[in-house]
Structure 1
Amino acid sequence: MHRQGKHRGLRTAVLAALLAIGGAGAWFAQADMPAAAVPPSLDGIALAAPDAAAVTVPSRPDAWGGMRTATHATLSDRVANYRIEATLDPVKHVVTGRQQLSWRNRSAVPVRSVYVHLYMNAFEGEGSTFHTEQRQRGERFRSGQGSGDGDGDGDGKWGHIALRSVTQGGAQVAWHFVQPDNGPPTDHTVARFDLPQAVAPGATTTFDMAFTTQLPRVTARTGYFDSFHLVAQWFPKIAVLELPGERGATAPRWNAHEFHMDSEFYADFGSYDVSLTVPKGYTVGATGELQGAPAEKNGQLTHRYVQHDVHDFAWTADKRSAAPLVETWNGPGSPPVTVRVLYPLEYAASAKPAMKAARDALAWFSRTLGPYPYRTLTVVIPPFNAQEAGGMEYPTFITASGYAEVPAKSLAEYELDGVTIHEFGHGYFYGILANNEFEEPMLDEGLNEYWDTRMLRERGQQVHPLPQFLQGIGVAPAFAAFDTLRMASPRDKPADAPGQNAWRRLQGIGPVYTRSATVLRDLEARIGSAAMERGFKEYYRRWQFRHPSIADFREALADGSGARAAVEDVFAKQVYATSRVDDRVSELSSDEALPLAGTRLVDGKRIGETGAALDKRIAEIRKQWEKANPAAKKGTGPFPWHTQVTVRREGASVPQTLLVKFEDGSSETVDWHADEKWRTFSWTRTARAVSAELDPRRNHYLDVNKLDDSRTMKPDGSASTRWGSEAAALYQLILSFIATV
């Protein structure tokens, strides 16, 4: 998901600066919720803890069936397979569905109770965990559109999912709502099925379900606006049964969490065979491959999509879409990929840029991580007034942003490219490397934000926050991609470890993107880009089509990069914990080491020397030296210079480099790696110091303030002059516009 602000994406420099102010209104989501004990299951299998977060113990090598290789018949170990028939009523915005779910018990114990996500019930009313968190937090999701806001008719357009029937082998299944995270009893996003027949170890059972899904007015990744429908989180979806040695589990446990405002998803891999019936004239896009031409009956078309080795399914239908843009991409190790861009006429200008960004992303991620394994990629640009459906990811199916115009070097161009690339990247970090987004969102949003920003960096793309007419007259500040993330990251008082779960965060979900990416960028600066890429490739190799934890990522990164000590240091300080980084040059002095008054030995005799005599001797020595060195550089002379630099540390230790430059053009470089609060470095040389600078290569973006990393012997106002001049020019321009009104 692309975490959007009220008007624009997180990537923009303006919003980045606002976010850097720091997490206002954020909270611990569970703080005021009443506890509601979940009744024990029939088989005694426990639920994951309501505060579960980053795993510290690596999974066993055989977790999730072991590492997938070319010898396996299928890409994933298919556990949950869905056959769904669904019909859309585009007037009532209702999906009527029948679903056959085949689920395999991977555990060594019989299973009598299973848990199912009913995500759409997050939007049934204000009593859901999702809306309870919104109220307590005092803000809306992303753009501010709420599911109860309606279309201006005052009625409110809520959504829900209703189970009409559930059977197992023809026998009715008893079920009831539960709140695994101790959320309000009015939350209905998780249900427990108590089975009439236990599922034996290794056996597969089949559930037949009938359900009706009322879509909300588009909100939080799903819903409708006018004839546009983005249908996601729309069907009953079984939770994940984790086994000992998987993501820190020591016994079989169900991983089922309520749908929180800032949480996303976690599911088993499987196959999806989905038939979608919509009125003729609607353009349809979906996860997977279309199986032949749609079948027509009674003025409706049934589109059948099949996709293996994925863990979710989403789709769209709209009668106002333009003709899709379709191209084919080919890359080493990947099958031919059919790329489709679905877009409304008002955003026609966005179609080709979105296609190019998607194709470029296919090439980049395939080269830097591993081959893209699927044959399709569908990019959906939602229409005007449906921006809540933009910036989201599902397997082989993503939504982007739309703009009426996309000029070069504009904010629109950067956002469109950035969001498209970001959402495609989720196809790897959320899709293929299917982590638990509830408990460890860093593995999805954080890693993806870091990797797609690397791509933007390689492309040379920058954020140009001001309108083009200002750029045309020379007011054109630009920000590199990682700089915008640094500005948006809480650095002075970070409250939440990147490894914390999605809903217990004082400063909200934003730092999962920005601080996680900045932590990884700093690690890259420390160990090198090539080492980082080796580590990420190893992570992909080991954990594709499985469910890694943060501990599994740590181990793959340490082994693949060959930089275990650095990786473990960063994870201890900045992943499992969060530590302030704030190093600075506190003092710089450089003084001539002149002869001192007192007695001294001359030809074996001790003589005294008055101050006046000493001054005379010093002056004579200078005169003789200048005569002998007429072309000497300023800052050099007959006497050595004693330079002292004191550095201070007011946060966690990081490996630092101190660079001191001297008047004669020479320099000294020294490492400061010790875990200490301060140190003074000194040199006695033939030239005076010019400047002292910590972190000259800007390795540490987590550092609170880069302006205090350096000192000069003489005041240097060039930076303030530059920014002051640009600000003054902009101010004068605004005044001139006002004067002409």
Structure 2
Amino acid sequence: MALLMAGAALNAEPPPGSAAVPPSLDGIALALPGAAAVTVPSAPDAWGGARTGIEPTLSDRVVDYRIAATLDPVRHTVTGRQQLTWRNRSKVAVRSIYLHLYMNAFESGDSTFFTEMRLRATGFRSGGLGVREGEWGHIALKSVTQGGSRVPWWFVHPDNGPALDHTVVRFDLPQAVAPGASTTIDTDFVTQLPRVVARAGYFGSFHLVGQWFPKIGVLELPGERGATAPRWNVHEYHLNSEFYADFGNYDVRLTVPKGYTVGATGELQGAPVEKDGMVTHHYVQGDVHDFAWTADNRSAPPLEDTWTGPGSPLVAIRVIYPPEYAASAAPTMKAAKDSLAYFSKTLGPYPYRTLTVVIPPLNASEASGMEYPTFFTADGFGEVRPGTLSQYMLDITTIHEFGHGYFYGILASNEFEEPMLDEGVNQYWEGRLLRERGQLIYATSSKLAAIGVAPRLTDFELSRMAAPRDAPADAPGQNAYDRLQGIGPIYMRTATVLHDLEARIGKDAFEAAFKEYYRRWKFRHPSVADLREALAQASGQRATVEDFFARQMYRAEKVDDRVAEITSVEELPQPGTGEAGGKWIEQGGKALDERIDAQRKQWKKAHPDAKPGMGPFPFRTTVTLRRSGAPVPQTLVVKFADGSSETVRWDMDEKWHRFSWVRPARAVSAELDPQRIHYLDVSKLDDSRTLAADHRPALRWTSDYAALFQLILSLIATV
């Protein structure tokens, strides 16, 4: 806090919170605090239009960062000098610009991040590490200038957060930035890293340096993500939100003590330069929207390999790991290469020449499972055996974090307002890769394994089990920070929704539609509406896609169909009168019973090998279906004792329906959704009924839930 006040004084401003913040100099509005999924597609020329591949750069670069930073591994500080060049894409002059100071989320318990943690009585990932004295973090602005003139700055609260939250700052520029013009802002800053608490920080000599520099917000223009006028999209650092920024170029020089292994976003430029016991590593990367790095003097020699595929450059891969997790290095490399191959094949070529994977050391797991462009953190285990939970967790974390390189990195959606476009879609695509691999979750750590109960589920089955289905409170398209049921459903329910939509559309058509989405929106910033339009157009199934998005993306409707009743009764001759030979004859009572018995004996004699449930009289089978949620197209299969079956469709929007057949054999069972298309369904146990009670399915699913319950809770929102 003292450094922040000193920075304010240096710029001739009152200490933060001591005076009202004046209006911005140009009147450009901020994105609304509760902004969420966009319903109107972006304009065709949004973000400079679709990238065709003939442009000189992969993205329409808006920013250019030149940063020189020095790490003090004893004080755990990063001292930096930043030259930020920003281009005004709008048609109006800009006088006030907004930047994120994300590290101030860890400045005190009065930040938006910790206030939300306290009020919601929940932690971050592993339950939230308590920040002890001397372990807080912050970012202090020491000097801010434009063309040599001092820049006044003010902390602002776009989401109406706590007054002492300092994660968003406004710079009031001495010189306006004309439409189409650029300006350069020079900033000296000091970042105090916290003890690793959420995605970043230090533990011992390990430093994961993310969200560490002043980062400009996004000026959205009319036709982009629902904007109708220029607006700054610059939200506070919430407990469960992540990030959103413009594409540009990063030229970063990192100076660390000799003996430290460094990994970072982008490509190393030549050999590191040593001077006076310090070593400077120079990294450059274009067409990205963030930069992160790591430094540790305990790292083992990195594992290195290369990969290439159709349309992709030769990719240099590094896995940086601590000695205690040496067993994880090679499996992590394999999972990374498998991910490169799969995402490149099913979405589009990987466009960068590097990929750096960092396995944090023991006791720094809060830094695991986090993504940045060309750089992500994975998970580490002292022992990794095939077919075990450790193997699954290592693979799933690597695959998931790599996948973010596409959905968060290249597609660059707004993770504050529309997190499903990254977290949810990535969870779904991860499930597709694991499905193609045939990889299951082996819950061998469960105590039930000792007595022979070792459930094995697919990734989609795990997502289904963890997704709220009976009473979903939050639409997947809701923003990241204003959710009754927390962040987990963004991952699990979105993946389940997309699984069901794929089942409706067809695997190949759905993949082709996602390829089109990627082609249109790579190196831009798509909205939920843009995803909807790409899938609707490319699949040729607009009605299905639009209905699904309306019910399950913009809302969260329950799906709950069930077989309410099945009966199968012999159609016996009935008492009454009938005409025979011109006379009316009454038939009933004992005579009718004797006739029925005689027909049965005669039929049985003629059919000695007949199966139970067959006889001389037909059976009337009736199946009643009930619905307690949104309509989905259902398939009902009824099986009969003679081995035959009936398959019918239930496509109507109604609360119940009754099907009936008269057939030679008694029914055995009735089953809804036999192909398991509808994972959103509240319970699969009531999708089928038999005439004779059969408790085996319920017992099996109960065992599976018991064994995986703790596993699910540990997985939700950890990556």
Give the TM-score normalised by structure 2.
Answer: 0.94
- Aligned equivalents of 2:66 and 2:237: distance in 1? 24
- Aligned equivalents of 1:317 and 1:649: distance in 2? 56
> Structure 1 residues 652 and 348 mapped into 2: Cα distance closer, same or farther (>3 Å)?
same
1:594 positional shift: 0.8
1:681 positional shift: 0.6
User: Residues 666-707 of structure 1: CA distance to partner in whole angstroms, max 9, x if unpaired?
Assistant: 111111111110011101111110000111111111111111
Do the aligned residues in 2 keep the contact of 1:147 with 1:216 (CA within 8 Å)?
no
1:669 has 2:652 as partner: no
Hey, what does 1:593 align to over in structure 2? Answer: 571
Do the aligned residues in 1 keep the contact of 2:639 with 2:670 (CA within 8 Å)?
yes
CA RMSD of aligned residues (A): 1.9
1:623 has 2:601 as partner: yes
Hey, what does 1:88 align to over in structure 2? Answer: 71
Within the candidate set 151, 156, 160, 2:138 is matched to: 160
**AA paired with 2:116?**
E
Hey, what does 1:554 align to over in structure 2? Answer: 532
Within the candidate set 464, 485, 488, 1:510 is matched to: 488
1:619 positional shift: 1.9
1:146 has 2:146 as partner: no
Hey, what does 2:13 align to over in structure 1? Answer: none
1:131 has 2:134 as partner: no
- Aligned equivalents of 2:198 and 2:703: distance in 1? 43
> Structure 1 residues 350 and 165 mapped into 2: Cα distance closer, same or farther (>3 Å)?
same
Aligned partner of residue 402 in structure 2, secondary structure:
helix
- Aligned equivalents of 1:298 and 1:256: distance in 2? 40
Aligned partner of residue 505 in structure 1, secondary structure:
coil
- Aligned equivalents of 1:474 and 1:545: distance in 2? 50
Hey, what does 1:13 align to over in structure 2? Answer: none
Within the candidate set 38, 45, 52, 1:55 is matched to: 38
**AA paired with 2:38?**
V
**AA paired with 1:285?**
G
Q: How does 1:95-134 map to 2 (within 5 A)?
A: 95-134=78-117
- Aligned equivalents of 1:227 and 1:532: distance in 2? 46
Do the aligned residues in 1 keep the contact of 2:21 with 2:154 (CA within 8 Å)?
no
Hey, what does 2:230 align to over in structure 1? Answer: 252
Hey, what does 2:468 align to over in structure 1? Answer: 490
User: Residues 211-243 of structure 1: CA distance to partner in whole angstroms, max 9, x if unpaired?
Assistant: 000000001100000000000000000000000
- Aligned equivalents of 1:95 and 1:566: distance in 2? 52
1:723 positional shift: 7.3
1:78 has 2:61 as partner: yes
> Structure 1 residues 38 and 230 mapped into 2: Cα distance closer, same or farther (>3 Å)?
same
> Structure 1 residues 158 and 599 mapped into 2: Cα distance closer, same or farther (>3 Å)?
same
- Aligned equivalents of 1:467 and 1:105: distance in 2? 55
User: Residues 64-97 of structure 1: CA distance to partner in whole angstroms, max 9, x if unpaired?
Assistant: 0000012211100000110000000000000000
> Structure 1 residues 264 and 97 mapped into 2: Cα distance closer, same or farther (>3 Å)?
same
Hey, what does 1:535 align to over in structure 2? Answer: 513
Identity among equivalent positions (%) equals 71
1:637 positional shift: 1.9
**AA paired with 1:486?**
R
- Aligned equivalents of 2:191 and 2:146: distance in 1? 21
Do the aligned residues in 2 keep the contact of 1:410 with 1:468 (CA within 8 Å)?
no
| Larger CA deviation: 601-610 vs 85-94 | 601-610
- Aligned equivalents of 1:41 and 1:393: distance in 2? 33
Hey, what does 2:429 align to over in structure 1? Answer: 451
> Structure 1 residues 597 and 473 mapped into 2: Cα distance closer, same or farther (>3 Å)?
closer
- Aligned equivalents of 1:574 and 1:651: distance in 2? 12
- Aligned equivalents of 1:56 and 1:92: distance in 2? 47
Do the aligned residues in 2 keep the contact of 1:533 with 1:561 (CA within 8 Å)?
no
- Aligned equivalents of 1:718 and 1:514: distance in 2? 27
Do the aligned residues in 1 keep the contact of 2:372 with 2:409 (CA within 8 Å)?
yes
User: Residues 287-329 of structure 1: CA distance to partner in whole angstroms, max 9, x if unpaired?
Assistant: 0000000011111000000000000000000000000000000
Aligned partner of residue 135 in structure 2, secondary structure:
coil
- Aligned equivalents of 2:697 and 2:560: distance in 1? 21
Within the candidate set 20, 24, 28, 1:41 is matched to: 24
Aligned partner of residue 367 in structure 1, secondary structure:
helix
Q: How does 1:649-664 map to 2 (within 5 A)?
A: 649-664=627-642
> Structure 1 residues 401 and 676 mapped into 2: Cα distance closer, same or farther (>3 Å)?
same
| Larger CA deviation: 296-305 vs 522-531 | 522-531
Do the aligned residues in 2 keep the contact of 1:286 with 1:315 (CA within 8 Å)?
yes
- Aligned equivalents of 1:624 and 1:319: distance in 2? 91
Do the aligned residues in 1 keep the contact of 2:268 with 2:284 (CA within 8 Å)?
yes
Do the aligned residues in 2 keep the contact of 1:84 with 1:98 (CA within 8 Å)?
yes
1:240 has 2:218 as partner: yes
Q: Number of aligned pairs?
A: 690
Aligned partner of residue 173 in structure 2, secondary structure:
strand
- Aligned equivalents of 1:493 and 1:246: distance in 2? 33
Structure 2 alignment gaps of length 5 or more: 1-16, 708-719
Aligned partner of residue 121 in structure 1, secondary structure:
helix
User: Residues 424-450 of structure 1: CA distance to partner in whole angstroms, max 9, x if unpaired?
Assistant: 000000000000000000000000000
Give the TM-score normalised by structure 1.
Answer: 0.91
User: Residues 27-48 of structure 1: CA distance to partner in whole angstroms, max 9, x if unpaired?
Assistant: xxxxxxx9x9975321111000
> Structure 1 residues 583 and 173 mapped into 2: Cα distance closer, same or farther (>3 Å)?
same
1:118 positional shift: 0.3
- Aligned equivalents of 1:227 and 1:504: distance in 2? 36
- Aligned equivalents of 1:47 and 1:524: distance in 2? 36
**AA paired with 2:91?**
A
Within the candidate set 44, 51, 55, 1:68 is matched to: 51
Do the aligned residues in 2 keep the contact of 1:123 with 1:147 (CA within 8 Å)?
no
- Aligned equivalents of 1:610 and 1:558: distance in 2? 63
Hey, what does 2:405 align to over in structure 1? Answer: 427
> Structure 1 residues 80 and 465 mapped into 2: Cα distance closer, same or farther (>3 Å)?
same
1:156 positional shift: 3.9
1:720 positional shift: 5.2
Hey, what does 2:417 align to over in structure 1? Answer: 439
Aligned partner of residue 401 in structure 1, secondary structure:
coil
Within the candidate set 699, 709, 725, 2:687 is matched to: 709
Do the aligned residues in 2 keep the contact of 1:121 with 1:160 (CA within 8 Å)?
yes
**AA paired with 2:165?**
D
Do the aligned residues in 1 keep the contact of 2:477 with 2:554 (CA within 8 Å)?
yes
Hey, what does 1:732 align to over in structure 2? Answer: none
- Aligned equivalents of 1:522 and 1:727: distance in 2? 21
Aligned partner of residue 86 in structure 1, secondary structure:
strand
- Aligned equivalents of 1:47 and 1:344: distance in 2? 43
- Aligned equivalents of 2:192 and 2:618: distance in 1? 82
1:722 positional shift: 5.7
- Aligned equivalents of 2:502 and 2:705: distance in 1? 34
- Aligned equivalents of 1:491 and 1:724: distance in 2? 17
- Aligned equivalents of 2:401 and 2:409: distance in 1? 11
Q: How does 1:18-29 map to 2 (within 5 A)?
A: none
Do the aligned residues in 1 keep the contact of 2:472 with 2:558 (CA within 8 Å)?
yes
- Aligned equivalents of 1:469 and 1:672: distance in 2? 42
- Aligned equivalents of 1:39 and 1:259: distance in 2? 22
1:479 positional shift: 1.7
